[in-house]
Structure 1
C-alpha cells in the first residue's frame, strides 16, 4: 500500500448507504463478455474481494455454482445481502474480512474478481495469496471503468460540476486527499500488471464493454456520489455533515437550476490474468 498510509475500518464508513445510488453502473454487457471469455457455465466458485454492496458479485453469481463476497465494511455487506435478496440470488454468501486476511479458510475458486478494489490492498502479498487460491488456468479479474474524456455534446442536461465539487471537498477537509483516518497525498498505487506478473500470473487479456448509456442524475444522486467515495465519506465531516451537504446542494443548483444533470456512463474495462495450466 502507499507509504505512510495504513488501512483502517473507517475508510468507507457510512458510504454504503450512498453507494448504489451514487455510483454509475458498469456496462450491462460485462457479465456476458466475461462469461464468454472464460467459458463460464454455472460451475465452479467466484470470489469477489472488496465486494462492497455486491455490485459485481450479485450479477456474476449466476455464472457459478457458488459466489463469495468479501469486504471489511459491515455496512457494505448489509447492503449486499439486501441486493442479493432483492434480485433473487441465493447462491452467495458474504464474509467480513480484508483482502489481507485471505485465504481465510474459503477454499479454491475458479475466478477471483477485484472491482476497483485491488489498489486498496497490500498488493504483493494479496496477489501471492490469491494465486494460491486459484487452480491451474484460474482467473484473476479486475473490473473497472474506462477513464477517458467523454463528449458532452447532445446531453439533455449539464454534466455534474466535478471540479467545483472537488474544490468544495478540499475547502472542507483540507488540500490533501483523505482516506479513513489518514491521508493519501499521492493517491493509491498503480502497477497492478507488474505485481501480478511477479506473482506468476500471465496476461492481461483486455475486454472493453461499451456502455452507450446516458445517465440522468438528480442533485441527490450527485450528493450520494460524493458520499460514496472514500475521500467524501460521511464520517469525515463529523457533526457538520448537514452544513456541508447544504453548501454542496447550493453549488449543484447554481450549476443546474433545474436540479438535473446528465453524463455518459463510462465503458467497462475487464482485465484478466490467468494462472498457468498444469
Structure 2
C-alpha cells in the first residue's frame, strides 16, 4: 500500500509564533500532575511532544522526564520554543524541525506522547500507526485541548470579538493557504480514530482553569490563531484593533474579562 502525505502548508501559522508563546492560554499545573499520576512518571522516561509549537506543553512538563523531544514543522515556532526553554533553564529538551507524519523509530522509545491543540492538523491514522512502535508498553498518548474557541463561545465578549474579526476578514473562518483556505470541522472525531488504532483504551479528563484576559492580551490571542494571523489584516490592522477595542469596551468598560476554561485531556493507552 502506498501512503501519500499531503504537503505541509507553511502559511498555517505564519507570523503567529511570537503571539502564540505569549498569549495562548497555558495548560494548568493540575493537568501535568494528572498525567504524572496516570503514567507513573518518575523523571526517568522520555516525552514526545508532537506539534509542539512554542513549547506550551514540553517546557512546563520537562522536569517529569529524563528527556523531552519537541517536534514541529514550523521553524518560527521552534525558534520561539528554544528561547522560552532557555529562559527557564529547561535544558533536557531536543527540538526537531519535522512533521509528525515523518516520525520514525530513529527518535527512540517514549513513555508518553502529547499533542496540544495539534492532532487535528495531522494525518491522524498515519501518525498513530507510526507511534505504535515508538511508545513503550504501558505508555500512551494524551491529546490536550484548552476549550477557548471563540467561534463557538457563549460569552458575549467573545461573540463580539468574532463579529469584529468577520467585519474585517469576512464571514468564513480562514485557515492556511495564505488566508485563502477555509476551516472545516473533523469528519471523524479523535475518539473514533483512536479506537481503530493500537491506542484504543480511552479516558477523557477535564480540569477547570481560570483565565484572565485584557483587550491587549486578547488581540494577541487572535494573532496567535490560524484564523486571525496578523498578515490577514494587512494595512487594516490598526483599524481592526481600534474597532475591536471599542467594541469590547462597549461590552465590558473595564476592558478585562475572566472565564473558566475547561481543559480536556483525551488519554489513550497502548494496548499490549
What TM-score do you get using the length of structure 1 for normalisation? 0.85
Aligned residue for 1:268?
263
Following superposition, which runs of at least 4 residues in structure 1 exceed 6 angstroms of deviation?
none
1:257, 1:73 → 2: CA distance? 38
Aligned residue for 2:121?
120
Structure 1 range deviating more: 176-185 or 230-239: 176-185
1:189-224 Cα distance to aligned partner (Å, 9 max, x none):
55112212222212212333343x3x3322111101
CA contact (8 A) 1:67 1:92 kept: yes
Which residues of structure 2 form unaligned runs of 5+?
1-5, 150-154
Aligned residue for 1:175?
171
1:122-181 Cα distance to aligned partner (Å, 9 max, x none):
111111112222122221111123579xxxxxxxxxx67111221222222222211111
Aligned residue for 1:165?
161
1:190, 1:25 → 2: CA distance? 27
Aligned residue for 1:143?
144
Q: Is 1:90 aligned to residue 85 of structure 2?
A: no
Three-state SS of the structure 2 residue aligned to 1:75 is: helix
CA contact (8 A) 2:176 2:182 kept: no
Structure 1 range deviating more: 165-174 or 63-72: 165-174
Aligned residue for 2:196?
198
| Change in CA separation of 1:28 and 1:185 when aligned onto 2, cut-off 3 Å | closer
Which residues of structure 1 form unaligned runs of 5+?
149-158
2:233 to 228, 234, 237: 237
Query: Once the 2 structures are TM-superposed, how far is the Cα of residue 183 of structure 1 from its aligned partner?
Result: 2.5
Query: Once the 2 structures are TM-superposed, how far is the Cα of residue 243 of structure 1 from its aligned partner?
Result: 2.7
Structure 1 range deviating more: 88-97 or 126-135: 126-135
| Change in CA separation of 1:100 and 1:246 when aligned onto 2, cut-off 3 Å | same
1:49, 1:61 → 2: CA distance? 14
CA contact (8 A) 1:22 1:228 kept: yes
1:49, 1:80 → 2: CA distance? 13
Alignment root-mean-square deviation, CA: 2.3
Query: Once the 2 structures are TM-superposed, how far is the Cα of residue 254 of structure 1 from its aligned partner?
Result: 2.7
What TM-score do you get using the length of structure 2 for normalisation? 0.87
Query: Once the 2 structures are TM-superposed, how far is the Cα of residue 50 of structure 1 from its aligned partner?
Result: 0.8
Three-state SS of the structure 2 residue aligned to 1:138 is: strand
